[in-house]
């Protein structure tokens, strides 16, 4: 008996080939699509991680950043720090803490570099955050760069003229006009100025920031003292009464405290002292103010809790803030 071989029709063979090709193509498309989705998702995660790290850094002082990097330790951290460059590698598979307030997920590795851009002085750091991750066993990365600058910290807190800082005095900007003033030696009189004028105040020479406060309800009262050119009279006549302009002057007392008979201005609303610092290299000096240690309040009555400073009436020796500040090296006030 002869067994005949069954042959597959060529049409069926062709169809099977087409099906195999189509399935292969679909599989490749699905794999490619899965890869792209996974890659996109992890890229987004990496960008969020990097952004959160930068935001946390921006909330720190320059010295606070350096202190954090110097003291950072833990499992999953590799760190090399020298005079000019700070390099930190965080492996999310082993690191269980937060890095600059940011959790590093597993399978993510953060390579963080902060390099001093000025060869002489540590005032600017160029920051690079490179985050690597695997997508289907292929290594990919996300990178972002930024710059961290040492703060230009003033000698003391700048005056704040929002309503909140005049509420204790019973003033607000809707009912009262608040006018920054300074003394002009050329004109030998007070003149109006603005908050951006570098001559408005200088506490090193006892020139406290001053403002005039006039009620908006008193018709032409401001015009009694201030002419169209911004010159201010020391005295004015109102209904046959002689008024002195100093009765309407208020002065800014920045956040400060005293320790061991030394007066310190304090940074922002904190209790940390502003201190003069300098860097020296190759016969070059760079003088900077920095934020130092905490200095306790003078008293519960003179604490500056949650505020940058206070406005007080010129010469009000009954006020606890004015009393204490008027005993410091920044007093007595240089009115003229």
Over residues 53-72, the pLDDT tens digits come to 999 999 888 888 998 999 99
Contacts of 65-74 with CB under 8 Å at 24 or more apart are 65/114, 65/125, 65/148, 68/100, 69/114, 72/99
Can you give the pLDDT at residue 251? 98
The per-residue pLDDT for 62 is: 87
pLDDT of residue 257: 97
Give every residue of the chain whose pLDDT is below 50, as ranges.
Answer: none
Helices (H), 59-168: 62-71
Q: What pLDDT is stored for residue 109 in this prediction?
A: 97
In this prediction, residue 7 carries a pLDDT of 59
Tell me how far apart the alpha carbons of residues 127 and 116 are, in angstroms, rounded to a whole number.
9
């Amino acid at each position: 008996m002869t067994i005949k071989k069954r042959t597959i029709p060529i049409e069926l063979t062709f169809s099977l080939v087409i099906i195999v090709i189509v399935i292969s193509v679909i599989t490749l498309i699905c794999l490619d699509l899965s890869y792209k989705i996974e890659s996109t998702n992890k890229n987004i995660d990496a960008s969020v991680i990097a952004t959160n790290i930068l935001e946390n850094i921006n909330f720190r002082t320059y010295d606070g950043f350096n202190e954090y990097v110097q003291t950072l330790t833990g499992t999953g951290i590799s760190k090399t720090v020298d005079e000019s460059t700070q390099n930190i590698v965080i492996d999310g598979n082993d690191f269980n803490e937060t890095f600059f307030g940011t959790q590093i997920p597993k399978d993510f590795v953060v390579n963080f570099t902060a390099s001093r851009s000025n060869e002489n002085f540590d005032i600017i750091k160029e920051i690079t955050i490179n985050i690597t991750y695997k997508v289907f066993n292929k290594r990919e990365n996300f990178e972002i760069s930024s710059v961290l600058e040492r703060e230009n910290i003033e000698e003391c807190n700048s005056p704040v003229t929002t309503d909140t800082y005049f509420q204790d005095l019973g003033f607000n900007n809707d009912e009262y006009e608040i006018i920054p003033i300074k003394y002009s030696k050329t004109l030998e009189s007070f003149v109006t100025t603005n908050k951006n004028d570098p001559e408005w105040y200088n506490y090193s020479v006892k020139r406290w920031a001053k403002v005039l406060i006039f009620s908006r309800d008193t018709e032409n009262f401001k015009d009694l003292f201030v002419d169209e050119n911004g010159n201010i009279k020391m005295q004015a006549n109102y209904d046959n009464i002689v008024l002195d302009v100093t009765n309407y002057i208020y002065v800014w007392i920045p956040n400060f405290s005293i320790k061991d008979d030394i007066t310190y201005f304090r940074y922002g609303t904190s209790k940390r002292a502003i201190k003069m610092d300098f860097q020296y290299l190759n016969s070059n000096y760079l003088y900077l103010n920095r934020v130092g240690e905490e200095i306790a309040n003078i008293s519960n009555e003179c604490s500056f809790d949650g505020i940058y400073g206070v406005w007080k009436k010129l010469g009000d020796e009954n006020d606890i803030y004015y009393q204490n500040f008027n005993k410091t090296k920044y007093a007595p006030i240089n009115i003229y």
